[in-house]
Structure 1
Amino acid sequence: MHSHLIPGIDDGSPSMQATIEMLKGFVDLGYEKVITTPHIMFDFYKNTPKIIRDGLADVQNEIRNQQIPITLEAAAEYYFDEHFLSLIDKDELLTFGNRHLLFEFSFRTKPNGVDEVVFELKSKGYQPILAHYERYLFFLSDGVKPAEKLKSKGVEIQMNLNSLTGYYGQKVKRQAELLVDANLIDYLGTDCHRLVHLEMIKANLDSKYFRKLNEMTFKNADLY
């Protein structure tokens, strides 16, 4: 879960060809199912359920045409902004699994009102999942304590696999390692935008922390 594979609708795949290359890369890594999550960020990516579903249908048709042995579903990655809040009020959110909802913050600016929004989401029957906790700069100085607080409020935590490769820098890598050591991760994701993201994962499968992941249990399997 967590990828950007529908071509041309966000900062992920630029073309159907690139999407197919990435899907074949997922198959090479042993994936059987992928949940792709295009950005919904009102100032930049004004995606709607119809845009995402239409794009998903196009990719699914190409998967069938090329007989790629993988299942593709779609939801969204919601940016924590006023548009997101309005969609909660309207109950117009794209989810996966059992009303699981992926959302993200600004990487640099700590948001206000998170507890209240989480409470509203939970009261409406959603399961909020915070994308790539380890990448938020305002959490770095506090390590995993904010993750523990978020989980106590009912938020589940998703970590990007490439955070453990150093792809996003050494500070993010260390934060990801702390998450692993504290066993605070609910979901692993690739956050795949380009084929290079899968190539980085493949190159690090035998690293120390990837081996640790193999010994742990995550909720990804519940989404099958």
Structure 2
Amino acid sequence: MGFLSNLFKKTPKLDPIDLAVLHTDLHSHLIPGIDDGSKSLDESMAMLRKFSELGYKKVITTPHVMSDFYKNNPRIILGGLETVREAIKKEGLAIEIEAAAEYYLDLHFEELIAKKEVLTFGDNHVLFELSFSAEQSRIKEVIFELLSSGYKPILAHVERYPFYFEEYEKIQNYIDRGCLMQLNINSLSGQYGPGVKKMAESLIDKDMIDVIGSDCHHLGHLELLDSVRTNPHLHKIINKPGLLNKEL
């Protein structure tokens, strides 16, 4: 009976954690109409109201930059940022917003690094992502290029890449080379599947995560995030000393 009860035991839930302790959300798609995130200024404002309700004081939004699909550049991103900021000011919403980007690892990204035309946040941090279909061969070289150019690389949603499931040595190798790791809070909900949830929990347990984020594309993501506040692994990572969110 003891074995069966352990087998089917549900993850214990804690009291909802106050996300105000994070201060800042890193990784979202709030600039309207430029990627697969917010479709309108009204939608952006609805998400920002929810961020504020959850206790966040600041968001660093990160539109996709992908040469073949999302041809965003600083002019487009920062122009959209000003539109959102004006709406925040008009409404009197008590939240700050900055913008950088989520760069897809491709030749265009490497060209931007070489020209030092990369949007950064914090202490010259840069968020980048990989293909979900297969491991890309140049990740080590790109980490080196970023560091050599004075940037501090952060790999987005490391727990979501199937080719890294339980490949902790590979991830540790990137960490040892100077790459920080970002995790999506909603991965702990099972939104992206049980494999991603398990990987997210393991990475937190192994103390391999430096910063967490909503990766919010629409209001539903924030409503789901609200429900994750009772998750013990979220409590664990938020209470981690040195979590980057609190410094951004």
TM-score grouping bracket, smaller chain normalisation: over 0.9
Q: How many residues of Structure 1 are paired with residues of Structure 2 in the alignment?
A: 222
Higher relative contact order (CA 8 A, sep 6+): 2
TM-score, normalised by the number of residues in structure 2: 0.87
Residue 190 of structure 2 aligns with an amino acid whose one-letter code is G
The more displaced of 70-79 and 198-207 is 198-207
Q: Is 1:87 equivalent to 2:112 in the alignment?
A: yes
Structure-to-structure mapping, 1:1-224, within 5 angstroms: 1-142=26-167, 144-217=168-241, 218-223=243-248
Give the Å deviation of 1:7.
0.3
Distance in structure 2 (CA, Å) of the matches to 1:186 and 1:134: 13
Kindly provide the amino acid, as one letter, of the partner of residue 206 in structure 2: A
Partner of 2:12: none
Q: Distance in 1 between matches of 2:137 and 2:52?
A: 40
CA distance in 2, matches of 1:87, 1:212: 36
SS state at 1:205 partner: helix
Q: Using the TM superposition, give the Cα deviation of residue 208 of structure 1 relative to its aligned residue in structure 2, in angstroms.
A: 2.2
**Which residue does the alignment assign to 2:14?**
none
Aligned partners of 2:166 and 2:199 also within 8 Å? no
Structure 2 counterpart of 1:150, one-letter code: Y
Gaps (5+ residues) in structure 1?
none
C-alpha distance in 2 between matches for 1:86 and 1:214: 35
Q: Which amino acid aligns with 2:98?
A: E
Q: Where does the alignment leave 5 or more consecutive residues of structure 2 unmatched?
A: 1-25
User: Which amino acid in 2 is paired with 1:203?
Assistant: S
Instruction: State how far apart, in whole Å, the 2-side matches of 1:27 and 1:141 are.
Output: 35
Amino acid at match of 2:179: V
8 Å Cα contact 2:61/2:101 also seen in 1: yes
TM-score, with structure 1 as normaliser: 0.97
- Residue 108 of structure 1 deviates from its aligned partner by 1.4
Give the drift of 1:221: 1.3
Q: Secondary structure at the match of 2:230?
A: coil
- Matched residue SS, 1:5: coil
Report the Cα offset of residue 141 of structure 1. 4.5
Q: Which amino acid aligns with 1:187?
A: V
Q: Aligned partners of 2:83 and 2:239: how far apart in 1?
A: 37
